């Protein structure tokens, strides 16, 4: 295992859907914490640009998480580059929850949500697990509070994230004691660029409805991910962590 000058063995993380949004925020935070990060995304070009913006400790792989061959190859290349893997962050997903009325939802569209948000996590887990076992690593799956509560016409997304929560606790039992597996359920995370957020700010009500007084940022999810992957979470596995500014704890009955 390669050594870094001052912090011991180098830790390697693979983050999917890392070209932008929450995944890019997670990659950035892990790099600040001294990890070497492989950014993987279906948009290979944007992924290359994002990795380049993070510096030489970041590498990019074009990866469609629905494609078994591509997943196998991404894990193989990660092992070839770094000799192992310490962390897998399954963040890639169709983040739009709205699939339309169920009566009009095509099977192919239902499948697209399930394949991306759930089957991809199975494939990554399948091929990464042998490497993670060797290094006593950890997995974090990015779920959603929509596994718990819904707006109309979001069945495919909700089902994919509910499945992901169940997959997480099942795998935690199978993968231990070597590998810990947790999930995070983000609430509303504003993934727009700082410039966009400044140019078109969210309303005061958008923020104030949250018990913490604000909408979330990618860094909020990245901080929890960093904790769950790190040694301070060594006694924590099989858990689903809600990071939503308290929204799922607020009663919303009309007066």
232-245 as b/e, with b when 16 or more CB fall inside 10 Å? ebeeebbebbbbbb
Q: How far is the CB of 100 from ligand NAP (least distance, A)?
A: 17
Q: Which of residues 20-39 bind ligand NAP (CB under 6 A)?
A: 20-23
Q: Please name every residue paired with 12 in a beta bridge, in sequence order, or none if there are none.
A: 36
Question: Cis peptide leading into 177, omega within 30 of 0?
Answer: yes
What is the C-alpha separation between 37 and 31, in angstroms, rounded?
Answer: 7
- Per CB under 6 A, the segment of 19-27, 75-83, 175-183, 228-236 that binds ligand NAP is 19-27
Residue closer to ligand NAP by CB (options 20, 29) is 20
Orientation of helix 44-54 relative to helix 21-32, angle to 10°: 30
E strands, 154-232, are: 180-186
Q: How far is the CB of 169 from ligand NAP (least distance, A)?
A: 18
Give me the residue label for tokens 């001294």.
34
Q: Which of 31, 58, 147, 189 binds ligand NAP (CB under 6 A)?
A: 189
Count, residues near ligand NAP per rule CB under 6 A: 27
User: Alpha-carbon Rg of the chain, whole angstroms?
Assistant: 18
Residue closer to ligand NAP by CB (options 22, 233) is 22
Residue closer to ligand NAP by CB (options 26, 175) is 26
By CB under 6 A, is residue 42 in contact with ligand NAP? yes
Q: Which of residues 71-130 bind ligand NAP (CB under 6 A)?
A: 91-95, 116, 120
| Long-range Cβ contacts of 143-146 (<8 Å, 24+ apart) | 143/168, 143/183, 143/184, 143/185, 143/186, 143/240, 144/97, 144/185, 144/186, 145/185, 145/186, 145/187, 145/242, 145/244, 145/247, 145/248, 146/97
By CB under 6 A, is residue 168 in contact with ligand NAP? no
157 is catalytic: yes
CB-nearest residue to ligand NAP: 21
**Going residue by residue from 196 to 225, which x/- string records binding to ligand NAP, judged by CB under 6 A?**
------------------------------
By CB under 6 A, is residue 186 in contact with ligand NAP? yes
- Per CB under 6 A, the segment of 124-132, 181-189, 195-203, 226-234 that binds ligand NAP is 181-189
Whether the CB-CB separation of 24 and 218 falls below 8 Å is answered with yes
Q: Which of 12, 14, 19, 58 binds ligand NAP (CB under 6 A)?
A: 19
Q: Which of residues 59-78 bind ligand NAP (CB under 6 A)?
A: 63-66
Q: Which residues bind ligand NAP (CB under 6 A)?
A: 16-17, 19-23, 41-43, 63-66, 91-95, 116, 120, 142, 144, 186, 188-189, 191
Active-site residue set: 157
């Amino acid at each position: 295992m390669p050594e870094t000058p001052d912090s011991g063995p180098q830790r390697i993380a693979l983050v999917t859907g890392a070209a932008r949004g929450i995944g890019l925020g997670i990659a950035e935070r892990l790099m600040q914490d001294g990890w070497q990060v492989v950014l993987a995304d279906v948009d290979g070009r944007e992924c290359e640009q994002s990795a380049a913006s993070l510096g030489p400790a970041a590498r990019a792989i074009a990866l469609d998480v629905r494609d078994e061959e591509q997943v196998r190859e991404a894990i193989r290349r990660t092992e070839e580059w770094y000799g192992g893997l310490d962390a897998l962050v399954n963040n890639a997903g169709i983040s739009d929850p709205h699939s339309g009325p169920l009566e009009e939802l095509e099977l192919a569209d239902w499948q697209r949500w399930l394949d991306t948000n759930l089957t991809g996590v199975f494939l990554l887990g399948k091929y990464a697990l042998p490497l993670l076992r060797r290094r006593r690593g950890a997995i974090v799956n990015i779920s959603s509070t929509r596994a718990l509560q819904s707006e109309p016409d979001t069945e495919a997304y909700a089902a994919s994230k509910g499945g992901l929560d169940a997959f997480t606790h099942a795998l935690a039992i199978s993968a231990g004691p070597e590998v810990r597996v947790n999930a995070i359920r983000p609430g509303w995370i504003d993934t727009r660029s700082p410039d966009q957020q400044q140019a078109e700010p969210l309303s005061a009500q958008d923020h104030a409805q949250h018990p913490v007084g604000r909408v979330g940022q990618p860094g909020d999810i990245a901080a929890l991910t960093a904790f769950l992957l790190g040694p301070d979470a060594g006694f924590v596995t099989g858990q689903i962590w809600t990071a939503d500014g308290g929204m799922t704890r607020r009663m919303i009955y009309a007066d």
